Structure 1
Amino acid sequence: MPTDPPPDWVPARRRVIGDRIRAARTSRGLTQEALAEAAGVDRKTISRIEQAVHSPLLDHLLVIAHALDAPLATLVRDEE
């Protein structure tokens, strides 16, 4: 596991991903709690990912995308 802080673009990308997850969740009328339940994760996990304070596990991104019925690529793509 790297001990150096990540490059500046990494937290910025996490924020973009968190924003996309929040936008997809709210457009479907879901609360963080409802998404967490549908994805089988803790609500705090959803909150931390949306706020970009948590580096999400790939497994979490996969189950969140599935619960949102959204392609994972849509949530994590590079272009803004």
Structure 2
Amino acid sequence: MPTDPLPDWVLTRRREIGDNVRAARTAKRLSQEQLAEQVDLDRKTVNRIEQGAHSTLVDHLVLIARALDVSLADLVR
């Protein structure tokens, strides 16, 4: 069971993953709305993932990676 609140390093990694998602999305010249439509998520969810404010499901990251034509590993590095 995760500790509450989460350690700072977890929140830092979450933000780094969000930065990677944003970089891959902007490299594909997609808006958050366009990416959200492709992966059947709400734009606000994509925004929360990119901001690191959302503890996202691995399933969502898999869908995002596929839509952006990058590996899941590229997003979580």
Task: Give yes or no for TM over 0.5.
Answer: yes
Cross-structure match for 2:75 = 75
What is the CA RMSD across the aligned residues, in angstroms? 1.1
Structure 1 stretches of 4+ with a deviation exceeding 6 A read none
| Structure 2 unaligned regions, length at least 5 | none
* Higher normalized contact order (CA 8 Å, seq sep 6+, divided by chain length): 2
In the comparison of the two structures, how many residue pairs are matched?
77
Kindly, what percent of the aligned residue pairs are identical? Answer: 65
TM-score (structure 2 length as normaliser): 0.93
| Secondary structure class of the residue paired with 1:60 | helix
The structure with the largest helix share of the pair is: 2
TM-score (structure 1 length as normaliser): 0.90
Cross-structure match for 1:57 = 57
| Structure 1 unaligned regions, length at least 5 | none
